[in-house]
Amino acid sequence: SAFAACAMPAPAATPPLSPDIPKKFEAPREDADYVRREEMIPMRDGVRLYTVIMIPKGAHAAPMILTRTPYNASKRAERNVSPRMLANLPLGDEVFASDGYIRVFQDVRGKYKSEGDYVMTRPLRGALNGSKVDHSTDAYDTIDWLVKHVEESNGKVGMIGSSYEGFTVLMALVNPHPALKVAVPMSPMVDGWKGDDWFHNGAFRQTNFDYIYGQTARKDDSLRVPRGAFDDYANFLKHGSAGDYGRHFGFDQLGFWNKIVEHPAYDAYWQGQALDPVMAAQPLEVPRMIVASLWDQEDMYGAIATYEAVEPKDAANDRNFLVLGPWRHSGVNYDGSVLGALKFDGDTALRFRRDVMKPFLDSYLKDGAPKADTPPVFVYETGTNRWRRESRWPLACAQGCSATSKPIWLHAGGTLDFARADGAAYDEYVSDPAKPVPYQPRPVHFEDSDAWRRWLVVDQRFVDGRPDVLSYASEPLTAPLKIAGAPLVNLFASTSGSDSDWVVKLIDVYPDEVPSQPELGGYQLAVAMDIFRGRYRESLEHPSAIPSGAVQKYRFELPNANHVFLPGHRIMVQVQSSWFPLYDRNPQTYVDNIFLAKPGDYRKATQRVYVAGEQASHIDLPVVATD
Ligand code: PG9
């Protein structure tokens, strides 16, 4: 009967209690325009590295572009869920992904799905690495495997990548595999102590706490510091020294943090990892285009240092190329139309990728492609908002450039002039570690990545007028003034303490009224700024206490700029002694290791900036003629 049939159902193929999450699910990809291969590529020591290979369907004799990443290779090839390869790959790849390239992402050893140990900045084999492997051998072994196992390829490989991924590009240029035909390192981490991620001139960058925790507390990046505070200014102030902060949140379990605490100075550990001298010592075989951002809030040092170190080898000026764009860190791979309040001449990043990088890659990677018309230096001129093709960089410097830098002098009471001063000897302020100067308006929330990306272009009026910030401004300019290179700080200063930080900013002050963009009226745009930890004034390796009250000379370069100060604008210099919480506070009392400073070491100090006579502070500006 019908009743009996209901009570005893026929056995079903999918019983009610069968698990609904399958052991393995594979999305059908018949309509996809690409094939996604996932491989574990063996390295020479047997460790296997997880690699995603995205191949356009029907590809034949296609070039390959490789990126080696600590940021999840699988996810790097999953921007969108789509049957189209272009949509899956990162925005920055579109220009070549739409033209038949095979795209490869690999997890570096120890991260995500790769085997082996992760070492945050794995040194090259040598004094700091006695093993058989490093990023140069891993790149070599990977490229060797790719050219032998990807039958759709033409056997030519290019490498690109920004930041950490730029660091792995540079590493691949050490004893490069013969199939590596071209490289585009973007904002690579090159010298983590002098001016890239970890320190700037010896001052520790506390944003790294979140980075180190995310990257190394687990193999993926799933953990975040449970800081329990929105405002990181208050958060870091509460915990004391960076060492105390680290201890509070368990950082002493993290190897890289301990390495940082053990190496506060520019000792053999940091010197032995700096890549610019390594690159200079390598034969210049593989053509490379080194890309830097003019407002790079993470790795503003290494790209240009590497370009300059290698350039003497580039006799024909056709292998070592430089690009300087008006971007934030890694901004080259995103929309480059605006940065904070600044509006540029269209999407500057797309223009570079499409009109300069793509033909450059094609010419070395595509069989039979024509030679690209690549300028040796392609640099955006901020202020006037246009790209320029140059044959060298920098255009002005202290010695050996086509133009010689010109000093601009600080005058007592807050003026600035190309003529030397003869007024009072100094200006002074009190620097109080209990009330450090913020680097961006509070609240400071490190996890606000938008704020982090644009803080270098934030209007500096938010600190102008603070009693612990000195500002020196020129008269409004009557003619344009262009700088193209690195401004060099020559600061004569004393402190009543025995250690001190010095922050110097070179600023373009907009006219009071800017009709085309009213919110820029009076804007103070930092063109170049940096910090110097005073204990390193005589030696970066061997710090020394600053004699209390004695005038000392601090000489350091600011980041490169290619900027025109327009008529009606003024040039400004600001000087202060803290930049918090981005940089850890200097206790202003000399201690062996600032990471281990005790609360009682943090003391107020009276700072004097000398502005007259033999000890007149000035900045050598890399001034060049305008046309
Ligand atoms: N600036 C990041 C980084 C590079 C190298 C080492 C550590 C951090 C990055 O954006 O990848």
Q: Which helix (H) or strand (E) holds 290?
A: strand 288-293
What is the pLDDT at residue 7?
64
Backbone region of residue 604 per phi and psi (left: phi > 0; alpha: psi in -120 to 50; beta: other values): beta
From the alpha carbon of 165, which atom of ligand 1 is closest? 11
* pLDDT, tens digit (0-9, with 9 covering 90-100), for 2-59: 454 556 667 789 999 999 999 999 888 889 999 999 999 999 999 999 999 999 999 9
What does the mean pLDDT of the chain come to?
Answer: 96
What is the percentage of the chain residues whose pLDDT exceeds 90?
96
What is the pLDDT at residue 195?
97
Average pLDDT in the 600-612 region? Answer: 97
Average pLDDT in the 455-469 region? Answer: 98
Report the alpha-carbon distance of residue 157 to residue 180 in Å, rounded.
5
What is the pLDDT at residue 28?
84
* Any atom of ligand 1 within 6 Å of the Cβ of 189: yes
- Ligand 1 centre to CA of 71 (Å) is 10
Report the alpha-carbon distance of residue 442 to residue 234 in Å, rounded.
9
Nearest CA to ligand 1 atom 3: 164
Under 8 Å between Cβ of 366 and 377: no
* pLDDT, tens digit (0-9, with 9 covering 90-100), for 574-595: 999 999 999 999 999 999 999 9
Lowest mean pLDDT among 64-73, 417-426, 454-463, 565-574: 417-426
| Confidence band of 168 (pLDDT split at 50, 70, 90) | very high
* Any atom of ligand 1 within 6 Å of the Cβ of 275: no
Q: Is the pLDDT of residue 200 over 70?
A: yes
Report the alpha-carbon distance of residue 544 to residue 244 in Å, rounded.
23
ipTM over 0.90: yes
Average pLDDT in the 302-306 region? Answer: 98
Report the alpha-carbon distance of residue 317 to residue 560 in Å, rounded.
21
Q: Which helix (H) or strand (E) holds 339?
A: strand 338-339
* pLDDT, tens digit (0-9, with 9 covering 90-100), for 118-132: 999 999 999 999 999
Q: Which helix (H) or strand (E) holds 308?
A: helix 302-310
From the alpha carbon of 70, which atom of ligand 1 is closest? 11
Residue 143 has which token pair? 């490229």
Task: Choose among 391, 386, 558, 431: nearest CA to 489.
Answer: 558
What is the pLDDT at residue 1?
47
* pLDDT, tens digit (0-9, with 9 covering 90-100), for 138-163: 999 999 999 999 999 999 999 999 99
Place of tokens 């009076």: 522
* Any atom of ligand 1 within 6 Å of the Cβ of 299: yes
* Any atom of ligand 1 within 6 Å of the Cβ of 164: yes
* Any atom of ligand 1 within 6 Å of the Cβ of 163: yes
Average pLDDT in the 520-545 region? Answer: 98
What is the pLDDT at residue 400?
92
What is the pLDDT at residue 296?
98
* pLDDT, tens digit (0-9, with 9 covering 90-100), for 343-378: 999 999 999 999 999 999 999 999 999 999 999 999
From the alpha carbon of 329, which atom of ligand 1 is closest? 10
Mutate which of 67, 71, 163 to test ligand 1's pocket (most atoms within 8 Å of Cβ)?
163
| Confidence band of 422 (pLDDT split at 50, 70, 90) | confident
Report the alpha-carbon distance of residue 385 to residue 389 in Å, rounded.
13
What is the pLDDT at residue 27?
83
What is the pLDDT at residue 6?
55
